[in-house]
C-alpha cells in the first residue's frame, strides 16, 4: 500500500512539473499539431517535418506546386498538414468531417518490431495518398487541392515516426503511465526549437523563407519511393528499436535542454526517418502520375530608360517527367508569359506583384522563347522591376521563375506648355485653358490625349513665404475651402485645338487673406508608364512623386464675401427693462446653384471647418447709444443670437438693459461667415430706437417745495422784516432824543 502511495505521489509530482511545460495550443496523440499556419511562433512539429521533406527535392521546380506562395500553395499544404488534428482546416479543400481523426489511429508491432498486430494508421495514410494521386493526375491540376492532400498524407505517414503512436501496451513494453501527457510534452519540447529565418506569410512572398530547429540539424536521405501504406509501416518498424527507451525514459528528463546526448541522437534519428518517409511518398505520387516539372533558366533582358522599351533575348525552357527531358514548345505550352514584381527604391513602399501579364513569343527555328523590343506598359517610376516568368502545360501546374532578372525604371519626363488661367472677382469663377502635355522621347506618344492618361487634374495652391523651391517650384500648400474641401477639378480635352481646359469653376468658398497669392498646378497621372518627377524642399532635398506636374506662372488674389445684415426688429419692455430682438437675417453676396447666400445655423455653428483655420464666425447682437457708441454697461457685451428654424431668422429674447442710464438706444447684429474680412467692421443695420425713461422718486417732488418756502422766507426777511425792525429801532431812538430835549 505504501509503495502504491509513493508511486501515485511520484506521478502527481511529475504531472504538476510537466503541466507548465505544455503550451496552451498543445494537442496530444500526434506529432504535435496546432492547426495554425501563421505566425511561426505556433508552427507545429508536423509542419516542420513536412517542410523538411520537401527540401530533399534536388530539382528546384519539381515541388513548386506545393511550396510556392503564388496562389497560396504553401498555405494549402500546411492546412492539409493541420487537418488530421484540426478538421476545420479542411474547409475550402475537402469535407471537414473526413478529418480530425488522428487521435484514434495506431500502428502496433510485435515485440520484435516485425509483425503488424494492429493497424488503422497506414490504411488512413493510403486513403489520402490516393486522393493526392487523383488530384495530380488531372490535365489541369488544382494546385491548392494537390498541396492540401500532400499535407494530409504527410501527417498520417509521419505519425508512425513518434514512439507514442506505436506504443503497444500488450507487448513486453507494458503500459506507460500517463502516456498522452508524456507524448504531448515530448513533442512540445521539440517544437520549442522551431523558428523561421524569415517570417513566412503569403503577404510577404518576396522573402527567403526557411524553417529551422535550433536543437536539430537533420541529415535525412532520399530513399526509394513508396506508397503511403508501405511507407507508414516501414517508418514504424524503423523507429521501433528506439521507441521503448524514448518513451520509458522521458519522465526522467522532461526538458529538452536536459536530454542526454544519446537520447537526443535517438530523437533526431526518428525525425530523420519521418522526413524520409514523407518524401518517399510524395515522390511515389509524382512518379505514378508521370508528373512534369519545368526548368526555367535565367534570361538576358534589355530595358531602355529613356524610351521605356523592353526586350528579352531568346531562352529555352525544358520539362522533365519520369521518362526524360524535353523542350517546351508553343504547341505543348498552355502558358508562356511574364509579369513584374515591384520593389520601390525610394521611400518605404512595400513590394507588390503586378497584374499585367505579357505573353512571350516562340521562335520555332531555335526552339526558344523571347520578347520583342517594344514599349512596355505597366512599369513604375523609381522602382526595381523583377521579372517572373510563368509557364504551364498539361500534366503539371503553373511554374514561376525565381525572379532573377530585374531592371530599374527611373521616370519619363512630360513637358507642359505655359498654360493660362483667370479669376473673376465678381463671380468667383476660375477659368483654366490652353494646357498641352507632351511626353518626350517616347515615339509611341506625343501630346497626351484622354485615352492615354489615367487622370488630368488641376489644383489651386496658396503661395507660401520664401519665393521658390529649388527647381523653380513655388513654395505653397494646396488650397482648402471653408467647406473643408480641396480646391481642384478635372481637366477636359478640346479635340479641335488639342488642349486641356476647365472653365467656369466656382471657387467662392475658398478664402485667404487678400495679401496671399494663389496659383494653379496641373497634374497628370499615367499608370501604364513610369511617370513622375523629383520634388525639392528648401533644403534641396528631393522627394519623388509618381505624377507629372506643372506650376502656373502667375498669381491671383481671391475676394472676400460681403455680408448684408438686416435691422433687428425689437420689442422693448419698459417695466422689466428688457429687449427682444428678432427677424434678423444675413446674406452674403456669394451664391451658387445650391446656395442662396443665407447665413443660417449651419453656416455659423454646424458646418465643419478645416482644423488649421481659426473659427471667426459669429452671429451676435449688441446695444448701442443713439449716436452709435457701443454700450459698455456690464452684461451688455456681444450676445450670441439664436436661430429660429421655422421662421428662418436670428433672434434673442430678454436682453437685460437695466444697467443702462436713461437715454435713446438701438440694437444691431454682427453676423460673419468664414469668408469675410475679419479686420473690417461688419455691423448690420440699426433697429428702431427705444428709450429708457424711469419715473422720479417722491423725494424729487418734496425738495423743490422746501427750497421755495426757504427762498420766500429769506426774501421776506430781507425785504420786510429786517427793514421794519430797523425802522422801529430808529423811531424809538428819535423819540428818546425828543423826550430828552424837552426835559433839558
Q: What DSSP letter does each residue of 328-391 carry, written as one string?
A: --TTT-SEEEEEEEEEESSTTPPPEE----EEPEEETTTTEEEEEEEE--S--TTEEEEEEEEE
- pLDDT for 225: 97
- pLDDT for 197: 57
| Banded pLDDT at 19 (limits 50, 70, 90) | very low
- pLDDT for 715: 57
- pLDDT for 29: 31
- pLDDT for 7: 43
CA 56, CA 282: separation in Å to the nearest integer? 11
Computed over every residue of the chain, the mean pLDDT equals: 85
Section 478-494 average pLDDT = 92
CB hemisphere CA count around 55 (13 angstroms): 16
How does strand 473-478 pair with strand 405-409?
unpaired
| Banded pLDDT at 612 (limits 50, 70, 90) | confident
Q: Across the strands, what pairs with 615?
A: none
- pLDDT for 533: 80
Query: Residue 164 pLDDT more than 70?
Result: yes
| Banded pLDDT at 200 (limits 50, 70, 90) | very low
- pLDDT for 16: 35
pLDDT in tens, 500-526: 999 999 999 998 776 788 999 999 999
- pLDDT for 722: 64
- 563 CA to centre of own chain: 43
Residues 6+ apart with CB under 8 A from 454: 525, 526, 527
- 635 CA to centre of own chain: 51
- pLDDT for 207: 54
pLDDT in tens, 709-732: 555 556 555 555 566 677 677 667
CA 570, CA 576: separation in Å to the nearest integer? 14
Give percent above pLDDT 70 in the chain: 83
For helices 261-288 and 228-248, the axis angle rounded to 10 degrees is 170
CA 148, CA 219: separation in Å to the nearest integer? 26
pLDDT in tens, 345-355: 876 677 888 88
pTM of the model: 0.67
- For residue 22, what is its C-alpha cell? 505544455
Cβ proximity of 651 and 580 under 8 Å: yes
pLDDT in tens, 620-673: 999 999 988 877 665 677 889 999 999 999 999 999 999 899 999 999 999 999
DSSP state of 624: E
Query: Residue 571 pLDDT more than 60?
Result: yes
Cβ proximity of 315 and 299 under 8 Å: yes
| Banded pLDDT at 158 (limits 50, 70, 90) | very high
- Please report which helix (H) or strand (E) contains residue 634, including its range: none
Cβ proximity of 528 and 377 under 8 Å: yes
Cβ proximity of 257 and 263 under 8 Å: no
Section 527-539 average pLDDT = 79
- pLDDT for 712: 56
- pLDDT for 101: 95
Q: Report which of 664, 688, 462 is spatially closest to residue 571, judged by C-alpha positions.
A: 688
Residue that has been written with the C-alpha cell 528546384 in this structure: 60
- pLDDT for 538: 66
Give percent above pLDDT 90 in the chain: 58
Query: Residue 459 pLDDT more than 90?
Result: yes
Cis peptide before 6 (omega within 30 of 0): no
Q: Report which of 669, 681, 506, 515 is spatially closest to residue 590, judged by C-alpha positions.
A: 506
pLDDT in tens, 673-714: 999 988 877 889 999 999 999 886 544 433 454 455 555 556
Cβ proximity of 295 and 318 under 8 Å: yes
| Banded pLDDT at 739 (limits 50, 70, 90) | low
- pLDDT for 9: 39
Section 73-101 average pLDDT = 93
| Banded pLDDT at 38 (limits 50, 70, 90) | very low
- 520 CA to centre of own chain: 30
pLDDT in tens, 323-337: 999 999 999 999 999
Query: Residue 27 pLDDT more than 50?
Result: no
For helices 179-191 and 228-248, the axis angle rounded to 10 degrees is 100
- pLDDT for 474: 62
Cβ proximity of 132 and 278 under 8 Å: no
Query: Residue 599 pLDDT more than 90?
Result: yes
Burial 205-234 (b: 16+ CB within 10 A, else e): beeebebbbebbebebeeeebbbbbbbbbb
pLDDT in tens, 113-140: 999 999 999 999 999 999 999 999 998 8
| Banded pLDDT at 440 (limits 50, 70, 90) | confident
Residue that has been written with the C-alpha cell 517544437 in this structure: 191
Amino acid at each position: 500500500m505504501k509503495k502504491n502511495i509513493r508511486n501515485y505521489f511520484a506521478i502527481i509530482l511529475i504531472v504538476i512539473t510537466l503541466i507548465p511545460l505544455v503550451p496552451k495550443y498543445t494537442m496530444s496523440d500526434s506529432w504535435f499539431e496546432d492547426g495554425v499556419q501563421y505566425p511561426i511562433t505556433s508552427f507545429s512539429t508536423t509542419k516542420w517535418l513536412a517542410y523538411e521533406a520537401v527540401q530533399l527535392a534536388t530539382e528546384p521546380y519539381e515541388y513548386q506546386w506545393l511550396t510556392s506562395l503564388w496562389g497560396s500553395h504553401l498555405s494549402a499544404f500546411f492546412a492539409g498538414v493541420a487537418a488530421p488534428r484540426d478538421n476545420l482546416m479542411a474547409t475550402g479543400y475537402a469535407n471537414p468531417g473526413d478529418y480530425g481523426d488522428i487521435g484514434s489511429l495506431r500502428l502496433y508491432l510485435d515485440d520484435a518490431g516485425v509483425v503488424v498486430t494492429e493497424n488503422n494508421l497506414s490504411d488512413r495514410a493510403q486513403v489520402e495518398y490516393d486522393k493526392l494521386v487523383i488530384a495530380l493526375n488531372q490535365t489541369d491540376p488544382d494546385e491548392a487541392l494537390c498541396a492540401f492532400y500532400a499535407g494530409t498524407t504527410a501527417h498520417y505517414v509521419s505519425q508512425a515516426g513518434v514512439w507514442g503512436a506505436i506504443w503497444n501496451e500488450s507487448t513486453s513494453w507494458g503500459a506507460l503511465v500517463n502516456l498522452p501527457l508524456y507524448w504531448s510534452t515530448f513533442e512540445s519540447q521539440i517544437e520549442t526549437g522551431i523558428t523561421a529565418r524569415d517570417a513566412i506569410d503569403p503577404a510577404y512572398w518576396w522573402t527567403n523563407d526557411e524553417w529551422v530547429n535550433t536543437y536539430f540539424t537533420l541529415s535525412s536521405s532520399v530513399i526509394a519511393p513508396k506508397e503511403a501504406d508501405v511507407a507508414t509501416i516501414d517508418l514504424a518498424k524503423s523507429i521501433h528499436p528506439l521507441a521503448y527507451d524514448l518513451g520509458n525514459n522521458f519522465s526522467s528528463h522532461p526538458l529538452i535542454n536536459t536530454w542526454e546526448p544519446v537520447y537526443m541522437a535517438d530523437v533526431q534519428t526518428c525525425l530523420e526517418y519521418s522526413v524520409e518517409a514523407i518524401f518517399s511518398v510524395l515522390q511515389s505520387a509524382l512518379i505514378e502520375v508521370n508528373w512534369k516539372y519545368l526548368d526555367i533558366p535565367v534570361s538576358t533582358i534589355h530595358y531602355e530608360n529613356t524610351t521605356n522599351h523592353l526586350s528579352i533575348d531568346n531562352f529555352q525552357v525544358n520539362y522533365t517527367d519520369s521518362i526524360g527531358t524535353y523542350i517546351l514548345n508553343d504547341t505543348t505550352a498552355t502558358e508562356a508569359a511574364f509579369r513584374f514584381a515591384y520593389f520601390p527604391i525610394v521611400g518605404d513602399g512595400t513590394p507588390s506583384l503586378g497584374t499585367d501579364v505579357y505573353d512571350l513569343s516562340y521562335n520555332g527555328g531555335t526552339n526558344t522563347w523571347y520578347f520583342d523590343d517594344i514599349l512596355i506598359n505597366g512599369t513604375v517610376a523609381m522602382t526595381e522591376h523583377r521579372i517572373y516568368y510563368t509557364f504551364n502545360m498539361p500534366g503539371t501546374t503553373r511554374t514561376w521563375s525565381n525572379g532573377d532578372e530585374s531592371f530599374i525604371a527611373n521616370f519619363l519626363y512630360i513637358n507642359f506648355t505655359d498654360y493660362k488661367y483667370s479669376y473673376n472677382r465678381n463671380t468667383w469663377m476660375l477659368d483654366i485653358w490652353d494646357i498641352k502635355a507632351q511626353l518626350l522621347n517616347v515615339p509611341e506618344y506625343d501630346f497626351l490625349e484622354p485615352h492615354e492618361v489615367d487622370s488630368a487634374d488641376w489644383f489651386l495652391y496658396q503661395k507660401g513665404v520664401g519665393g521658390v523651391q529649388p527647381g523653380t517650384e513655388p513654395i505653397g500648400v494646396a488650397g482648402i475651402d471653408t467647406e473643408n474641401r480641396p480646391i481642384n477639378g478635372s481637366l477636359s480635352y478640346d479635340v479641335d485645338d488639342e488642349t486641356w481646359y476647365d472653365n467656369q469653376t466656382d471657387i467662392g468658398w475658398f478664402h485667404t487673406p487678400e495679401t496671399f497669392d494663389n496659383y494653379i498646378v496641373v497634374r497628370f497621372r499615367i499608370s501604364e508608364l513610369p511617370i513622375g518627377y523629383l520634388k525639392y524642399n528648401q533644403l534641396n532635398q528631393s522627394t519623388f512623386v509618381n505624377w507629372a506636374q506643372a506650376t502656373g506662372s502667375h498669381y491671383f488674389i481671391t475676394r472676400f464675401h460681403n455680408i448684408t445684415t438686416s435691422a433687428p426688429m425689437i420689442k422693448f419692455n419698459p417695466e422689466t427693462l428688457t429687449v427682444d430682438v428678432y427677424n434678423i437675417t444675413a446674406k452674403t453676396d456669394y451664391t451658387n446653384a445650391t446656395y442662396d447666400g443665407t447665413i443660417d445655423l449651419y453656416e455659423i455653428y454646424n458646418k465643419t471647418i478645416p482644423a488649421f483655420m481659426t473659427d471667426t464666425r459669429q452671429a451676435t447682437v449688441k446695444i448701442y447709444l443713439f449716436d452709435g457708441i457701443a454700450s459698455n454697461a456690464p452684461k451688455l457685451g456681444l450676445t450670441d443670437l439664436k436661430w429660429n428654424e421655422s421662421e428662418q431668422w436670428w433672434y434673442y429674447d430678454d436682453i437685460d438693459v437695466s444697467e443702462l442710464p436713461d437715454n435713446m438706444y438701438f440694437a444691431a447684429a454682427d453676423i460673419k461667415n468664414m469668408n469675410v474680412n475679419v479686420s473690417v467692421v461688419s455691423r448690420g443695420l440699426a433697429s428702431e430706437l427705444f428709450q429708457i425713461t424711469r419715473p422720479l422718486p417722491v423725494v424729487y417732488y418734496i425738495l423743490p417745495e422746501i427750497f421755495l418756502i426757504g427762498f420766500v422766507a429769506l426774501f421776506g426777511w430781507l425785504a420786510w422784516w429786517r427793514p421794519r425792525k430797523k425802522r422801529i429801532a430808529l423811531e424809538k431812538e428819535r423819540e428818546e432824543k425828543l423826550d430828552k430835549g424837552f426835559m433839558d
